[in-house]
């Protein structure tokens, strides 16, 4: 039977970074620092690794700022050229831009027209709700909750359980998790909830097709 609720991941599923490697190289070049594509990827990988390890600490504006400064240092220390902290922070701040994947708005609209409620549940700091608002997706969903707000990250199921609570206490068996990573599947399985995984960056259209093909 068709679920009454969909929980959806954000990064790689609804949104993605806006050309981070190219934009980072351009930003550094404007500061007289020329790096290769591979050097940019290595620096961004170090930054993302630290973010994933520490994002649960970013629960309000001061702690989000502190985390971003630590991420700037991770970026700076990985670059082959000398870059001071403030310049690294400025470069990183310019990289925190997201674009909505092409099918996201249409797919979310189709779900809601079918009477299915939607919560975004993502391993993210406390800025997730503001990000969804900034990219124009907040009005397409019924709830947004980040792992930083809950204090636990997927594959822990607490984030998904909170999403179901915000949708009015939907039973896990009546919902489906849509994501792009094994942690999404594991978190859903821990609650006895089915899940659909999509290729990162491919959007959720195929998953929504599969959901709406189920009998109502």
Measured distance CA(142)–CA(117) in Å, rounded? 6
Give the model's pLDDT for residue 81: 80
Q: What are the tens digits of pLDDT across the range 51-82?
A: 999 999 999 999 999 999 999 999 999 998 87
Q: What are the tens digits of pLDDT across the range 175-195?
A: 999 999 999 999 999 999 999
Burial call 187-208: b when 16+ CB within 10 Å, e when fewer: bbebbebebbbbeeeebbbebb
Give the model's pLDDT for residue 80: 83
Q: Does domain 5-16+99-212 have CATH number 3.50.30.60?
A: no
For residue 150, pLDDT beyond 90:
yes
Domain ranges of the chain: 5-16+99-212, 19-96
């Amino acid at each position: 039977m068709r679920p009454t609720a969909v929980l959806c991941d954000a990064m790689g599923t609804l949104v993605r970074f806006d050309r981070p490697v190219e934009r980072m190289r351009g930003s550094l070049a404007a500061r007289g620092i020329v790096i290769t594509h591979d050097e940019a990827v290595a620096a961004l990988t170090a930054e993302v690794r630290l973010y994933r390890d520490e994002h649960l600490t970013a629960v309000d504006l001061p702690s989000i700022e502190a985390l971003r400064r630590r991420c700037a240092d991770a970026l700076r220390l990985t670059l082959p050229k000398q870059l001071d902290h403030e310049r690294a922070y400025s470069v990183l701040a310019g990289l925190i831009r997201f674009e909505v994947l092409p099918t996201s708005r249409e797919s979310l609209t189709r779900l809601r027209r079918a009477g299915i409620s939607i919560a975004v549940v993502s391993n993210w700091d406390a800025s997730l709700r503001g990000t969804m608002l900034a990219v124009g997706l907040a009005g397409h969903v019924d709830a947004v909750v980040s792992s930083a707000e809950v204090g636990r990250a997927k594959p822990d199921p607490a984030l998904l359980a909170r999403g179901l609570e915000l949708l009015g206490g939907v039973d896990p068996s009546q919902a489906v998790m849509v994501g792009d990573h094994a942690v999404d599947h594991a978190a859903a399985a821990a609650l006895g909830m089915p899940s659909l995984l999509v290729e990162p960056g491919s959007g959720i259209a195929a998953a929504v097709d599969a959901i709406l093909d189920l009998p109502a």
